[in-house]
Amino acid sequence: MSRRDPRIAVIGAGMSGLCLAAKMRAAGMENVVLFEKADRVGGTWRENTYPGLNCDVPSRYYSYSFAPNPHWTRLYSPGAEIQEYLRRVARDLDLERHIRFRTEVQEAEWIDGRWRVRTTDGTEEDFDFLVSAAGVLHHPRIADIPGLDSFAGASFHSAQWDHSVPLDGRRVAVIGSGSTATQITIALAPRCAEFKLFARTPQWVYPTPNPRYQQWSRLLLASFPALNRRWGRISYRFWQTVLEQVFGMAVIRPGWQRRLVTVACHLHLRRVKDPALRERLRPKDKPACKRMIFASKFYKRFNDGDATLVDTPIDRVTEQGIRTTDGQLHEVDVIVLATGFHAHTYLRPVEVIGPDGLRLSKVWSSEPRGYRTVALPGFPNFFLLLGPHSPIGNQSLFMITETQVDYLLQWVERWRAGEYDAATPTEDATDAFQAEMRRAYPDTIWTSGCQSWYLGADGLPALWPFTPQDHRDMLAEPNLAEWELTKV
């Protein structure tokens, strides 16, 4: 019996979509279409171009295991290098011919045993599988600040950076206290005539030097592909071990790893010379309760006088600048909103309609949930990459995606062999998975008493509360008892 050739629709051509396309081609499957609303690959690394943008996972580990990059210039990659890496992978593996740029998916509907994908230009096509590779942090959260529209200067979100706006020698305000605001402060504050960080709630900063890779070492790896592959595997596993055994454990259970992170953050804060300012920069929650900030020069910007902290709440924005609740007007030329993203949106506003008219917007009306980070009950042959409860809080996104793609491809291979036509995880299995996670949450640092984008509407983390290895073990192979398989 000949094997069937599945047609697969993928929403997004960022890191996870490219990973799926690459692994499908390696498995001899060419009938995959990536729908990308933008004109280039890259996802979040295409959208974010703000000054100081760096990844907070070591470069050698923040990459595909099958495509080690000899060109990284630093231990932690600048954002532009990650974007270039993704473009290079797409080009070298000939993935762009599978991508439809400037094509946005409006909805997908399960009709007669296949997914009918409709794009905003009115086109319709049928596919055997539907995959969401839309990513996690891609819908900017615009702060609802009174008077923002009245500001006479330039204002924009950090993910919508306006590079036409001059910044050198000007008065700049950044609103936010997370990783993005920290990186912008480090890079931009020395360039400005006046730089003010409006951060009402301080966050812990883990000291993270970012040394350069020597040019000779980059040339050596680029010149000898076999050496690059070997060194890539070694460095990949090294950093995987470090992150998983230290930070990956610190966030999910008490132990020496959590104590180490706590001590390092407290010692790092002592670098702030002014005792009063140091206390203003001291968070009330525990380190890693919110997303950890990795940086080494943030406090230096305040010590050197390059940056000024404003922790009085904002009352409103005026034509001249930002007025705080103490009545002070901070006159500025530029306002940057480093106010984060809608982290629980996933592929929405794309509507997915399953059998009997079941709508994703209704299923996720309160909070996104799913089966084992990769699928949803009620939606056959529909898979998610970096879906709800993926281990994004203690793992490299590249590793997570490869694990989920390998799992998905096992289902595709079973379909090719004719074992089923439609596969859907059961409600009971999904409920059991959700209950298993809820039992583990009390040990995690994320429930220790802070407010963060990690938490869902129910106050519980939308994260993986176990080890990264547990996630890989869970998705090593499908548990057929937890699925409904049908033949059409």
pLDDT tens, position by position, 147-174: 999 999 999 999 999 999 999 999 999 9
Mean of pLDDT over the chain = 93
Q: Which fold would CATH assign to domain 8-41+95-139+342-486?
A: FAD/NAD(P)-binding domain (3.50.50)
Q: For residue range 243-272, what is the model confidence (pLDDT) as tens digits?
A: 999 999 999 999 999 999 999 999 999 999
| pLDDT bracket for residue 452 (50, 70, 90) | confident
pLDDT of residue 175: 96
For residue 280, is pLDDT > 90? yes
pLDDT of residue 221: 93
Share of the chain above pLDDT 90, in %: 87
The pTM score is 0.94
> If you average pLDDT over residues 311-330, what whole number do you get?
96
pLDDT of residue 344: 67
Q: CATH assignment of 148-209+250-337, given 3.50.50.60, 3.40.190.10, 3.30.420.40, 2.30.40.10?
A: 3.50.50.60
> If you average pLDDT over residues 2-30, what whole number do you get?
93
pLDDT of residue 343: 61
pLDDT of residue 2: 67
Q: For residue range 219-247, what is the model confidence (pLDDT) as tens digits?
A: 999 999 999 999 999 999 999 999 999 99
| pLDDT bracket for residue 454 (50, 70, 90) | confident
- CATH 3.50.50.60 domain locations along the chain: 8-41+95-139+342-486, 148-209+250-337
pLDDT of residue 337: 96
Helix/strand/coil (H, E, C) string of the chain?
CCCCCCCEEEECCCHHHHHHHHHHHHCCCCCEEEECCCCCCCCHHHHCCCCCCECCCCCCCCCCCCCCCCCCCECCCEHHHHHHHHHHHHHHCCCHHHEECCCCEEEEEEECCEEEEEECCCCEEEECEEEECCCCCCCECCCCCCCHHHCCCEEEEHHHCCCCCCCCCCEEEEECCCHHHHHHHHHHHHHCCEEEEECCCCCCEECCCCCECCHHHHHHHHHCHHHHHHHHHHHHHHHHHHHHHHHHHHCCCCCHHHHHHHHHHHHHHCCCCCHHHHHHCCCCCCCCCCCCEECCCHHHHHHCCCCEEECCCEEEECCCEEEECCCCEEECCEEEECCCECCCCCCCCCEEECHHHCEHHHHCCCCCCCECCCECCCCCCEEECCCCCCCCCCCCHHHHHHHHHHHHHHHHHHHHCCCCCEEEECHHHHHHHHHHHHHHHHHCHHHCCCCCCCECCCCCECCCCCCHHHHHHHCCCCCHHHEEEECC
pLDDT of residue 488: 75
For residue 108, is pLDDT > 90? yes
pLDDT of residue 283: 95
| pLDDT bracket for residue 62 (50, 70, 90) | very high
